[in-house]
Amino acid sequence: MAFTFAAFCYMLSLVLCAALIFFAIWHIIAFDELRTDFKSPIDQCNPVHARERLRNIERICFLLRKVRGTAPRGRRKGKADRGPELVLPEYSIHSLFCIMFLCAQEWLTLGLNVPLLFYHFWRYFHCPADSSELAYDPPAVMNADTLSYCQKEAWCKLAFYLLSFFYYLYCMIYTLVSS
């Protein structure tokens, strides 16, 4: 029965993991929203709808941006209230886990997280749009391949975070109970 650094790490991870689950669910909803569309050509040909749709796609892609706030000068002043980007926080939270577990010398947990960490690094530095600040590129994201890939990615992450949530819970209790 000892409140070790490892126990602290697991407790913090537990909380942050809930946030990650939220992010994953948000991703799933966002991609689903992108995928669903009205079949009616009447709606499709409506420029208002076109604009809304475009804005929607851009908004979602914007939320998935890698980097905050490099909006071109002037042009987007009125649209600055787009909300926070979600990709970078997610990646940084996950990286934080890994660092904490490294410090706590929880090798098994670290080992479980390293693959995802590397995936995040790859995703971050190898974004689909060349030289683009968007991890998700509006012109490309509607591509059925990209979209289904993104959806799969989001579902897998959700599963991973859920499992790790319970794993952290178990580990936290275990470290607390075991001296």
Partner 1 sequence: MSAPAESPHPAASARIPPKLGGAAASGAAAPAGPGPAPHQQNGPAQSQMQVPSGYGLHPQNYIAPSGHYPQGPGKMTSLPLDSQCGDYYSGLYTVPTQNVVTPNTASQQPGAQHMYGRAPPAPHIVGSAPGSFQGAASSTSHLHTSASQLYSPFVNHYSSPAMYSANSSVASQGFPSTCGHYAMSTVSNAAYPSVSYPSLPAGDPYGQQMFTSQNAPTVRPVRDNSFSGHSTAISHPSPLPPPPSHQYHQQQSLSGCSTLSWSASGLSSTQDNLIRNHTGSLATANSNPTNTVADSLSCPVMQNVKPLKSSPVVSTVLPGASRRTPPAADRPAEPLASVTQPSELLQQKGVDSSSTTSSASPMPNSYDALEGGSYPDMLSSSASSPAPDPAPEPDPAPAPSAPQPSKMAKPFGYGYPTLQPGYQNATAPLNSGVPPSSPGYSGFQPYAQYPGMNQLSSSLGGLSLQSSPQPESLRPVDLTQERNILPTTPVWAPVPNLNVDLKKLNCSPDSFRCTLTNIPQTQALLNKAKLPLGLLLHPFRDLTQLPVITSNTIVRCRSCRTYINPFVSFIDQRRWKCNLCYRVNDVPEEFMYNPLTRSYGEPHKRPEVQNSTVEFIASSDYMLRPPQPAVYLFVLDVSHNAVEAGYLTILCQSLLENLDKLPGDSRTRIGFMTFDSTIHFYNLQEGLSQPQMLIVSDIDDVFLPTPDSLLVNLYESKELIKDLLNALPSMFTNTRETHSALGPALQAAFKLMSPTGGRVSVFQTQLPSLGAGLLQSREDPNQRSSTKVVQHLGPATDFYKKLALDCSGQQTAVDLFLLSSQYSDLASLACVSKYSAGCIYYYPSFHYTHNPSQAEKLQKDLKRYLTRKIGFEAVMRIRCTKGLSMHTFHGNFFVRSTDLLSLANINPDAGFAVQLSIEENLTDTSLVCFQTALLYTSSKGERRIRVHTLCLPVVSSLADVYAGVDVQAAICLLANMAVDRSISSSLSDARDALVNAVVDSLSAYGSTVSNLQHSALVAPNSLKLFPLYVLALLKQKAFRTGTSTRLDDRVYAMCQIKCQPLVHLMKMIHPNLYRIDRLTDEGAIHVNDRVVPQPPLQKLSAEKLTREGAFLMDCGSVFYIWIGKSCDNNFIEDVLGYPNFASIPQKMTYLPELDTLSSERARSFITWLRDNRPLSPVLHVVKDESPAKTEFFQHLIEDRTEAAFSYYEFLLHIQQQICK
15 touches partner 1 by CB under 8 A: no
Binding window for partner 1 (CB under 8 A); candidates: 9-17, 35-43, 90-98, 156-164: 35-43
Q: Applying CB under 8 A, which of residues 4, 44, 105, 178 lies at the interface with partner 1?
A: 44
49 touches partner 1 by CB under 8 A: yes
Question: Is there a contact between 163 and 26 (Cβ–Cβ < 8 Å)?
Answer: no
Full DSSP string of 43-85: HHT-HHHHHHHHHHHHHHHHHT-SSS--PPTTTTGGG------
Residue carrying the six token digits 């409140």: 3
Burial class for 60, CB neighbours closer than 10 Å (0-12, 13-18, 19+): buried
123 touches partner 1 by CB under 8 A: no
132 touches partner 1 by CB under 8 A: yes
CA distance 137 to 130: 10
75 touches partner 1 by CB under 8 A: yes
Report the residue number, 4 or 76, with the smaller CB distance to partner 1: 76
CA distance 126 to 174: 38
Report the residue number, 20 or 134, with the smaller CB distance to partner 1: 134
35 touches partner 1 by CB under 8 A: yes
80 touches partner 1 by CB under 8 A: no
* Residue 100: CA count within 13 A, CB half-sphere: 19
Residues that bind partner 1 (CB under 8 A): 35, 37, 39-42, 44-51, 53-55, 57-58, 72-75, 128-134, 138-139, 142-145, 147
